[in-house]
Structure 1
Amino acid sequence: MKSFLTSLFLTLSLASPLRAEVDIQEVTSPNGVTAWLVEEHSIPFTAIEIWFRGGARLDAEGKRGASYLMTGLLEEGAGELDAQGFAEAAEELATSFSYNVYDDTLTVSAQFLTENRDEAVALLRSSLIEPRFDEDAVERVRGQVESIIRSDAKTPNTIASKKLNELAWGDHPYATSISGTLESVAALTRDDLIEAKDRVLTLDRVYVGAVGDITPDALGELVDELLAGLPETGPDLPAEAVYGLPKGGETVVEFETPQSVALFAHEGIKRDDPDFFPAYVLNQVLGGGGFASILMEEVREKRGLTYGVSSFLAPRDQGALIMGQVASANDRIAEAIEVIREVWADVAENGVAEQQLEDAKTFLTGAYPLRFDGNANIAGIMVGMQAEDLPIDYIATRNDKVNAVTMDDIKRVAERLLRPEDLHFVIVGKPEGLEKSE
């Protein structure tokens, strides 16, 4: 049955043509909840996406990992249904739910057929309003989380990420893993999970997007039915994260492996910064464009120091980084780091070539419509737009913003954003030529 449902929803979600022009309607429910809707009545199927701002950073003090464990339990029984009964009910209705939590958001995704809409919404509502948190389910999912934590402790990329976040964000929740520690997860009680749910799933920070066979009036009623009973407000968000990554240099974490992994970063740019689009295009040229990027050309193609190197913008709600990653043999990682620093400094001083800029804009604008490959993806994009406070016509104007980026913009933002003297590397492995830090 599971494979049938997967095939069904894949078929339905891809039934809509690829498009970057969507007619978004703003819907206000009778209870005052705002939702964005794209009507698509050609198939009897709807996808809905719900985001709650706050996410794992709302864990109570001393309860790190509570939101993560709680989210993993939302479909493990609700109301009168235990875990098995809930799964069987979802299969019988041919509906699909997923729940995920991140640093800044908790997300709920649902897909259902029009003929089963009322029953599917009732089942989804029960998971949000009255999850059971049965002891056997809690212990089973707790064991899964503990297994993830143990695995992460042996994974170089995860070790590097954990160390970099710890250095960058100090005592902010961003500094620690959303999954918690073995000690914090072991100590979580059922009451802690109930508290975590009530802290994160609140009406004051909810965003809703829907795409499919549903009218505005029906969506408004659905939203109120689905969310009724959630707390009106949640706790205050943590204070803005204070950036503290060491200025320049390297942090080495020794790990027995023939290849070192390195993450590198310094302070970045927020999503609502007026220079975000020039920074986005700049990063595409610098390290976001795969084999077309400058970093790949210099580190891999010219010198053969790695199979892959990249850079990316990481704008969280309460703190932003520009980051990158590379892996290389222990006896070559020091050279790879040196080349990356040189590229960073060169682009900061000289910008990029005109053809590189044009190629990046061509790729970014041409690839954009490929994101709209189904109802669920469009719903997710719309909710992300709301969470980032983007205008409802953003999809129609986004490529114009990319195309408007000029060489002068790139030069200005490269000088502002790229700080080679601040670039700090966290290396996990046994790198030669670099001093061990811990």
Structure 2
Amino acid sequence: MKKFMVGVLILGVIGAAFLRGITKSGFNAEKILAQSALSGRQFNGKVKEISDEAGTVKAYFMEEHSVPIVAVAFEFAKSGWAYEKKRGTAQLVESVLLDGAGEYDRKALRAVMKEKGIKLGVSVDEDRLRFSFSYIKAFEKEAMDVLKAVLYAPRFEKEDLDLAKAQLDFVKKQQPENPEYRLSRLVDETFYGEHPYGWEEIPDKEALAAVKREDILAYLRESLSKDNLSVGLAGDLNETEARVFLSDVFGGLAEIGGKRELAPVQADFKQEKVSAKVPFSGQSFVTLLGKGVKRLDEDFYSLYVADYILGGSGLASKLSQGVRDKEGLKYGIYSGFATSDGIDLWQVSFSATPE
């Protein structure tokens, strides 16, 4: 029976050398733009920082009236599953938050969103709780009613929670069949260890069963606050209307949320290669980890562009052209920066036959 291998290689030297090799002095954005297909193009949209009427909520805003649509993205920092006090809480919020709120049960909420062209999504990762929201200007009132109901009066009915727990448990049981999931777990266990980043994204059935409605509401009270809120909005609004939007939607949030702490990852970049064999694939999957750069570092954008050329652009990247096209050694290879609250990494992932 064929076996495949998943592996993790912790790279201190290669990652550090890559980061040191690209500096600000070698990055000329104007020159790159002048030589690109974007040369000569004019972009009229201007982004400005605005605040709500009380001055307590800030947002980045771009006025654009070409189509009668408003798009909003907002997120709450330090509110991901690595910060949760009860395992599974954040995942259940992602699964059930849009299953009923305020006067709308699950069916009614989905019906009004479909009828009025309202799009609302929620997602959670290890660090943040994120929302995406868009609506047609003609149905602004209905859209605002839906969004505020979800933020301030989510239902979390027992039957919806029970269904979500069963669905998450089913997904968890299927995950080990995916070799890339096996690789991610190998990274979690060997690199992150006991740190919350090493937790399984979906906890076991017993942990999910222990999460009650009150736990979810407590999580939202601690997470949804102005002090950890970031907002961006664009579309068919003028600045005055945008300020009213911020006041109307976010004005009712608490000024300061609950205490949110996360220890930094104590990374060991001197580890040797770690691998595991699983008997249901003919491929090997590998991840290489190196030291990254903070998102607000002054070199981030120059390094981001350099990495895009090196391995972040997929089949057009230097790594792909060299290792895949010229040598034929693997199927796909990618690189990229992974920034997070606990650690910043540069990583390379590829798959190939064991040979």
Classify the TM-score, shorter chain: 0.7 to 0.9
Q: 2:295 maps to which residue?
A: 271
Q: 1:418 maps to which residue?
A: none
Gaps of at least 5 residues in structure 2 are: 1-40
Q: CA deviation at 1:78?
A: 0.6
Equivalent pairs counted in the alignment come to 313
Q: CA deviation at 1:324?
A: 1.4
The reply to whether residue 160 of structure 1 matches residue 160 of structure 2 is no
Q: 1:82 maps to which residue?
A: 105
Letter in 1 for 2:134: Q
**Structure showing greater relative contact order (alpha-carbon pairs closer than 8 Å, 6 or more residues apart):** 2
Gaps of at least 5 residues in structure 1 are: 1-17, 333-438
Q: 2:197 maps to which residue?
A: 174
Change (3 A) 1:285 1:40: closer
The reply to whether residue 244 of structure 1 matches residue 256 of structure 2 is no
SS at match of 2:97: coil
Q: Distance in 2 between matches of 1:24 and 1:286?
A: 30
Letter in 1 for 2:189: E
Q: 1:318 maps to which residue?
A: 342
Q: CA deviation at 1:176?
A: 1.8
Alpha carbons 1:22, 1:38 under 8 Å: kept = yes
The reply to whether residue 193 of structure 1 matches residue 216 of structure 2 is yes
* Cα deviation 1:394-419 (Å, max 9, x = unaligned): xxxxxxxxxxxxxxxxxxxxxxxxxx
Letter in 2 for 1:192: D
Change (3 A) 1:198 1:153: farther
Q: 2:146 maps to which residue?
A: 123
Structural mapping, 1:282-321, within 5 Å: 282-321=306-345
Structural mapping, 1:27-426, within 5 Å: 27-31=50-54, 32-57=56-81, 59-61=83-85, 63-232=86-255, 233-244=257-268, 247-330=271-354, 332=355
TM-score, normalisation: structure 2: 0.81
Alpha carbons 1:312, 1:323 under 8 Å: kept = yes
Change (3 A) 1:21 1:268: farther
Q: CA deviation at 1:211?
A: 0.9
Q: CA deviation at 1:253?
A: 4.3
Change (3 A) 1:253 1:202: farther
TM-score, normalisation: structure 1: 0.66
Alpha carbons 2:338, 2:347 under 8 Å: kept = yes
Q: CA deviation at 1:294?
A: 3.7
Alpha carbons 2:81, 2:91 under 8 Å: kept = no
Alpha carbons 2:290, 2:347 under 8 Å: kept = yes
- RMSD over aligned Cα, in angstroms? 2.2
SS at match of 1:55: coil
Q: Distance in 2 between matches of 1:256 and 1:135?
A: 38
Q: Distance in 2 between matches of 1:21 and 1:64?
A: 46
Identity %: 27
Q: 2:20 maps to which residue?
A: none
Alpha carbons 1:59, 1:66 under 8 Å: kept = no
Change (3 A) 1:163 1:300: same
Change (3 A) 1:257 1:276: same
Q: CA deviation at 1:127?
A: 0.6
Q: 1:4 maps to which residue?
A: none
Kindly indicate which of the two structures has a greater share of residues assigned to helix.
Answer: 1
Q: 2:11 maps to which residue?
A: none
Letter in 2 for 1:116: F
